[in-house]
Amino acid sequence: MFRDLLRSPELEFILEAHNGISAKIGEEAGFKGLWASGLCISGQYGVRDNNEASWTQVLDMLEFMSDATTVPIMLDGDTGYGNFNSMRRLVRKLEQRDVAAVCIEDKLFPKTNSFIAGQSQPLADVNEFCGKIKAGKDGQTNADFSIVARVEAFIAGWGLGEALSRAHAYADAGADAILMHSAKTIPDEILSFMAEWDRDCPVVVVPTRYHDTPTDVLRDAGVSMVIWANQMLRAAVDAMQRTARIIAAEQSLASVEPRIVSVAEIFRLQGAHELAEAEKQYLPAEGKKVRAIVLAAGAGAGLGKLIRDRPKALIEVDGKPIAAHIVDTYNAVGVKDITMVRGYRKEAFDLPSVRYADNDDFESTGELVSLATALRALPADAEQSTLVSSYGDVLFGKYVMQTLLDSEADLAVCVDTNWSGRDDVLADLVECSAPYTRDSFKKRVELRSVSSGRSGRTVHGEWMGFLKIAESAQPTVRRLVDELSVDNPRADVPDLLNALVADGHRVEIIYISGQWLDVDSLSDVARADTFGDEGPAA
């Protein structure tokens, strides 16, 4: 492609680029080729154009530029970074990175930019430079790789004769094109050279200084390719300087934001979309997203002045509110989407990254009205996720939640086997299809009923409020929640569980032992303070 550009009957243009993103922007603007400028690559590294960046550092950048683009790139290879041997190694390394061409200039290593005291810059010995061109051509393994020989005779203050004799020598040595450079603000040196140049060897020019010259003048003179050699870096520096000054002065992003590209545009240039598609193809399908609902609308009796200005869920234990511990534990098992139902002293809630749903009738309604409120607050796609519900005054260890989430059942609840010392009026006691045994983990145990108080029933454990609802069970649960809460606004989650069982749905029992704590009394608050110290999984 680069060779075609050099040989094209039209005047062709290539644009400076100095890193992956500028190369991509150049290609998107329609350029058919790019100039990996030595000035600009060293500039973006923040060093001088004096071979301060090593050639492998330049090569590393070329690799990013090559990966980011499909158009050919010509490296500004300075003097070839050494002698003929460095040159042929450079050519091999460029070929390996799909770089199309290198331009080398007839100066001495380490070079200095042509616009810095050019007249005092010594030129390379012609024969030595021809040897470099030959070594590069002989060393290339891809016949399409191009070597452009840059003549610095005008830059160094020599006349047309020197420029011409060097250009002829380099063409004879096998150069695929001649780059004739000039530091003058008018193109007279270039035009005088073009008037004499009669070889079948294209000429490339860099009108940085003679930028006011109409392009047709160069076209009419027979120039083959124009390099716009440094405008991308200069434009970027201008934009960065203005932006940095404004942000520094205003201590705010407000006025720069509308003037700069969006972060989404950066993602686009980076090809984020392709990665998202590839992830669908190559990553294992993600498990269903889990969303948590925390019922925290109630005030909490029996806690005296602790709940004067906040609900029970916001009482501080171990340095932060109960609800914050709950959020942390959910987060620790990978559940980030949390909907918290508030009611009593709802204004006291200020946890970040939580979705709130308000049950303002908390005094006259039960848990199912709160649950219905939460279900309505969820985004539409929540119907395709797994839900887990728990109470705002129940602390739990990671292990408890992980075990519940690992269950493959459509509906599952955790039940603590260690219930016998519990206040059997407050506790939700359950009867199951089988008692806990050491091999319970191998069996399917189902819920039979749940209610507070023993009253002569068989009891196998205590339910502490954790309910998992898989996607497939959501329609049933949503329907029952609505029906039951309309029938009886004070209905609670145990009423839902019993109704599910009565309707013939299987609610799996996951037996656990400890690793949770409900905060019902002042002594519970004291125990909660050390909850985190009690178990390794807490």
- Catalytic residue positions, numbered: 49
Stretch that binds ligand SPV, among 5-13, 37-45, 216-224, 241-249 (CB under 6 A): 37-45
- Specify the pairing of strand 290-296 against strand 386-391: parallel
Counting contacts by CB under 6 A, is residue 39 touching ligand SPV?
A: yes
Which is closer to Mg ion, CB of 113 or CB of 270? 113
Stretch that binds ligand SPV, among 33-41, 425-433, 477-485, 529-537 (CB under 6 A): 33-41
Residue 173: Cβ within 10 Å count: 20
Site for ligand SPV in 228-257 (CB under 6 A): 229-230
Cα dihedral 380, 383, 388, 393, rounded to 10, equals 30
Residue 455's region, left for phi above 0, alpha for psi from -120 to 50, else beta, is left
Cα–Cα dist 127/510, whole Å: 86
Site for Mg ion in 72-101 (CB under 5 A): 76
Cα 201 from chain centroid? 47
Which residue among 79, 208, 385, 390 contacts ligand SPV (CB under 6 A)? 208
Site for ligand SPV in 371-410 (CB under 6 A): none
Cα–Cα dist 235/377, whole Å: 48
Interface mask (CB under 5 A) for Mg ion, residues 37-76, using x and -? -x-------------------------------------x
Give min distance, CB of 38 to Mg ion, in A: 3
Is-cis flag, bond preceding 72, omega within 30? no
Interface with ligand SPV (CB under 6 A), residue total: 11
- Specify the pairing of strand 12-17 against strand 225-228: parallel
Which is closer to ligand SPV, CB of 48 or CB of 422? 48
Tokens of 294: 């925390």
Stretch that binds ligand SPV, among 109-117, 248-256, 264-272, 437-445 (CB under 6 A): 109-117
Site for Mg ion in 365-394 (CB under 5 A): none
Interface mask (CB under 6 A) for ligand SPV, residues 68-97, using x and -? --------x---------------------
Which residue among 57, 112, 113, 433 contacts ligand SPV (CB under 6 A)? 113
Residue 146 binds which of Mg ion, ligand SPV, none (CB < 5-8 A, kind-dependent): none
Cα 424 from chain centroid? 52
Stretch that binds ligand SPV, among 32-40, 188-196, 216-224, 410-418 (CB under 6 A): 32-40
Residue 17 binds which of Mg ion, ligand SPV, none (CB < 5-8 A, kind-dependent): none
For 169, residues 6+ apart whose C-beta sits below 8 A from its C-beta are: 126, 129, 130
Q: Which is nearest to 430 in space by CA: 409, 410, 444, 416?
A: 416
Residue 229 binds which of Mg ion, ligand SPV, none (CB < 5-8 A, kind-dependent): ligand SPV
Sign of the torsion angle spanned by Cα atoms 238, 239, 244, 250? positive
Q: Could you write out the DSSP letters of every residue in 20-85?
A: HHHHHHHHHTT-S-EEE-HHHHHHHHT--TTT-S-HHHHHHHHHHHHHH-SS-EEEE-TT-SSSHH
Residue 206 binds which of ligand SPV, Mg ion, none (CB < 5-8 A, kind-dependent): ligand SPV
Asked if 158 and 180 count as a contact pair (C-beta separation under 8 A), the reply is no
Which is closer to ligand SPV, CB of 66 or CB of 230? 230
Element of type H or E holding 103: strand 101-105
Give min distance, CB of 207 to ligand SPV, in A: 10
Site for ligand SPV in 187-206 (CB under 6 A): 206
Which is closer to Mg ion, CB of 103 or CB of 218? 103
Interface mask (CB under 6 A) for ligand SPV, residues 325-364, using x and -? ----------------------------------------
Tokens of 169: 């020598």
First to last CA, the chain: 63
Which is closer to ligand SPV, CB of 114 or CB of 339? 114
Residue 515 binds which of ligand SPV, Mg ion, none (CB < 5-8 A, kind-dependent): none
Cα–Cα dist 104/175, whole Å: 10
Q: Which is nearest to 312 in space by CA: 517, 133, 52, 110?
A: 517
C-alpha angle with apex 214: 211 to 215, nearest 5 degrees? 90
Residue 208 binds which of ligand SPV, Mg ion, none (CB < 5-8 A, kind-dependent): ligand SPV
Give min distance, CB of 111 to Mg ion, in A: 7
Give min distance, CB of 115 to ligand SPV, in A: 6
Which is closer to ligand SPV, CB of 58 or CB of 315? 58
Element of type H or E holding 467: strand 461-469
Residue 224 binds which of Mg ion, ligand SPV, none (CB < 5-8 A, kind-dependent): none
Binding residues vs Mg ion (CB under 5 A): 38, 76
| Residue ranges in contact with ligand SPV by CB under 6 A | 37-39, 76, 113-115, 206, 208, 229-230
